[in-house]
Every structure is written in structure tokens, then in C-alpha cells.
Amino acid sequence: MAISPDEPIPVREPRPVREGPGAAAALALPVVFFGVLGVIALVVGLLVGMGKNDGATSNSAPVEVSLAYPTIAPAVVNATTTGGIHVVNKDAMQHNLAVQGTNVRTAMLDGGKDATLDLSSLQPGDYTLLCEVPGHQQAGMTAKLHLTAGSTSGVAMSGMDMTSSGSATQTTMSPEQMDQAMQQSMAAFPAQTAGLGAQDLAPTVLPDGTKQFELTTAVTKWEVSPGKFVEAKTYNGTVPGPTLHVNPGDKVRIILHNHMDESTSIHFHGIETPNSMDGTTFVTQDPVKPGADFTYEFTAQSTPAVGMYHSHHIAYQQVPDGLTGAFIIGSEPVPAGVQVTQEHVMVLDDSGVIGFALNGKSFPATAPIVATQGEWVEVHYMNEGTMIHPMHLHGMGQLVIAKDGFPLANPEMEDTVTVAPGERYTVLVHATEVGTWVWHCHILPHAENENGMFGMVTALVVKP
């Protein structure tokens, strides 16, 4: 990575220092370490479509290609003009598969549906496969197609080709090219991009003490990574939307202005509200139509909470496309002897136009967290995606002090914190080890591809 502990790196202003009981004493945690939770072993395999061999001298079975935003798997498809491609949509959203620059394409496929892509009209050669849903190609739904005449073994492998004997040989990138791609991806970090999400929004305090926030939805051109712009749905122009902080017992008013051309709503996930303020359209309220406003009012619960706010109307599209933010009530209690000097939100994304990202940005545009040796850093993981993400920090453990905003009676030290969709985990990191430490989702295809690091990767930089 192109940063070192000695380089100045701008970070947002940390929230005020807060401390656990007995902070004046030596910083020693009187907690029982239970050991690291067993992380779900996730094996992400390449999809291989093998043709049946019934004694014929050649095989023309189609190869299998799967669609699951934001990827087409495998990344390199070796097919024949007679075999074609068996296309399977493994997503909840619609996709299709097309050969760029030709009229060869499947129809739009609903989730779980499949189709055969006939390649017989094409000449042998190299092509690009892509999904034609607006924004999906830009998000990374492309693959290489190597097309040969007649029949072959029908094998599709990422970065591999099959010889007539069935052994695999490398056809795409040499080891030196792979090294160079990885080095270039790391050297670009941290890259500057337009827009910064999850920033604190100061409320307007009304005469009766009510804390009023205004959130405006709009379609915004959002730079996920250097040069990659998508049409995101945003609160106040950022992904995630601004972070809202209130205290237990505060009167809260949130005014939603809908500037999109579709209806929406706000649900306060993990926050106690009256039923009428739950934000579920056609259950507790009507949709907020384009150009309309809606006011949410409630008294913040009496206990600390770590929640999220997001759309609950066409949510399977609006939330992955950016309509989400953090809602925090008070502060989570910390163990005795701990002084928290930085508090951060880390919203996890994996679908929609945003794709694999942390706080709306994909590596190398993710912002590192910078701390001085000895500091205690608090991070709230919030999974607004559609997949589980095991979040791993190199070099130092993570002390889990709360799950879904509920404090743990016995905080647990973990190496990798597994966060499922909708979950929130609050962790403390004691920045004891100087250096730049990689911080990433440990489902590796969410963090690396043939071009090096991407997606759900950032770093903790500890300065002496």
C-alpha cells in the first residue's frame, strides 16, 4: 500500500473521548477471553460445465456461466461455436448475458432462471460477455469469452484453458502480470474519489429540545472507485447517508424529502419506534411519493442502540443502490480501563450499483482508519448487503462489546467477526502494533480478483 505510518493521512474528526469505569487505572481489560469464534468456512469455487462423454470423439455440451451481481463467473469462458453457454441467474435480481458488439444475447432472466446462449452465429475469436441491465456492466459484470470452432471439452475455467489431454494451462495472465496487477492495486491506496459517506449530520435543535434532521433522497452520480461512477440512490447525496447521533430519551424528528422519481420510505432498523413510525409501506404508512415529504417523530429509547435507517419500499433495489445510513443512540458501554478516542461506522455493501464496498467505496478508494499507538478505536460493523461478511483485521484482535446494539455481559476477543445481513457488531481495537494493517472481508473473492485488491478492503494505520 502506498502509505506508511509516518505519512499524514486526513481522517474525519473523531468523536469526544469516552471511557469505561476505572479509566484512570492501568489499561488492562478484566475480561475473560473465550477464544475466537469458528468462522464459517466458505469455499468459493469456479463453476465448471463439463460435457458428458458417451464414447463420441468430441463433445458439444454447453459450458455453464452463472450471474450473481456484481460478477459473471467464471471470469474467462472457453466455449465452442456448437456448444454455446448455459446461463444461470443465481441472483434475486434480473440479469441477462450478451456478447458485446453483437446481437447475441439471452432474454432478461428472473432470479433462479436459466437459458442457453447460442454462439453458432459467431466466428471463433475473443469476445466480451456482459450483463445489459443498466449499471451492471459498470459494476463489474463482464467476462472474457474465448470462442473456438466445433466441439471441445466444454470446460469453463477462470484464467485457465484445457488441453486435449484434459490438463489445465494458463492462458490469461502470467505470474509476472499477476504480481504487477497486485502491486498496482496496492500502490493506488488510498485513492481520492468524489464524495464521502457516513459523516455525522448535526441536528437542528428546536425550542422544545427536539433534534431535527432532514434527509433528501435523490439519484446521484457516485464515484465508487477511481473513475467508476454509478447512478446511486442517496440520502443527502452520499453513500451511505449521513450518520445520525442522538442521546437516549431525546425527542427526534426526521423529515424525509423524496426527490427521486419513485416512491420510498424510511425504516429505523434496530431502533425502538412507535408502530406508526416503522416505515413499512402499506403496513404502517403509505409510500412517500416522488416530490412528497414525510415526517418521522419519536422519542429515542432509554438505552443505547446501534441501528441503521434504510428504505423499506422496493428495498431489494433501493437499499443496495445506496439508501441506507447509521442511526446511533448514546454510546455502548466499554470495559474498565478503556478510553475510546475514535468511533467509526463501517457499512458493508455487496450488491446493487454499489457492489462490494465499505462505506460506499471500493478499494483503493476506501478510507483507512489512522490511529496513534495505544489508542482504542471503536468500529460499528453494519451489514446492509445480501451476503455474510467475515471481517478480519491483520495484526490485532477485535474485542466485540455489543451485537445489534445490545452490550455483551462478557466481551469476546475475535480475530474475524462474521456479520450477517442486517446485523451490527460493535468492536474495540487496541492499536498497539505500529504499521499499516490490512482490514478486509475474508471471503476472498470479495476482496481480490485478477486485477489485484478491490472491493471490501481498507487498512488500519497505526502511527508511533
Write down the pLDDT at residue 412.
96
As a whole number of angstroms, the distance between CA 423 and CA 329 comes to 16
Write down the pLDDT at residue 124.
83
Q: Say whether pLDDT at 20 is over 80.
A: no
Q: Say whether pLDDT at 157 is over 50.
A: no
Mean pLDDT for 59-66 is: 81
Q: Say whether pLDDT at 50 is over 70.
A: no
Mean pLDDT is lowest, of 74-83, 214-223, 298-307, 428-437, for 74-83
Q: Say whether pLDDT at 52 is over 60.
A: no
Q: Enter the C-alpha cell of residue 217.
A: 433522497
Q: Say whether pLDDT at 102 is over 80.
A: yes
Residue 303 Cα to chain centre, angstroms: 29
Do the beta carbons of residue 146 and residue 77 sit within 8 Å? Answer: yes
The full set of domain ranges for the chain reads 1-23+183-190+335-464, 47-157, 192-330
Residue 139's pLDDT band, with cuts at 50, 70 and 90, is confident
Angle at 436 between CA 433 and CA 438, to 5 degrees: 105
Write down the pLDDT at residue 14.
56
Residue 138's pLDDT band, with cuts at 50, 70 and 90, is confident
Residue 56's pLDDT band, with cuts at 50, 70 and 90, is very low
Q: Say whether pLDDT at 170 is over 70.
A: no
Mean pLDDT is lowest, of 32-46, 84-98, 102-116, for 32-46
Selected from 3.50.50.60, 3.40.50.720, 2.60.40.1180, 2.60.40.420, the CATH number assigned to the domain covering 192-330 reads 2.60.40.420
Q: Say whether pLDDT at 460 is over 50.
A: yes
As a whole number of angstroms, the distance between CA 26 and CA 388 comes to 37
As a whole number of angstroms, the distance between CA 142 and CA 97 comes to 9
Q: Which CATH superfamily is domain 47-157 in?
A: Cupredoxins -  blue copper proteins (2.60.40.420)
Architecture (CATH level 2) of domain 1-23+183-190+335-464: Sandwich (2.60)
Do 1-23+183-190+335-464 and 192-330 have matching folds? yes
Q: Which amino acid is at 294?
A: F
Q: Enter the C-alpha cell of residue 310.
A: 434504510
Tallying the residues shown for the chain, one arrives at 464
Q: Say whether pLDDT at 390 is over 50.
A: yes
Do the beta carbons of residue 338 and residue 20 sit within 8 Å? Answer: yes
Q: Enter the C-alpha cell of residue 462.
A: 497505526
Mean pLDDT for 44-49 is: 35
Burial 280-289 (b: 16+ CB within 10 A, else e): ebeebbebbe
Residue 58's pLDDT band, with cuts at 50, 70 and 90, is very low
As a whole number of angstroms, the distance between CA 408 and CA 401 comes to 5
As a whole number of angstroms, the distance between CA 94 and CA 92 comes to 7
Q: Say whether pLDDT at 299 is over 50.
A: yes
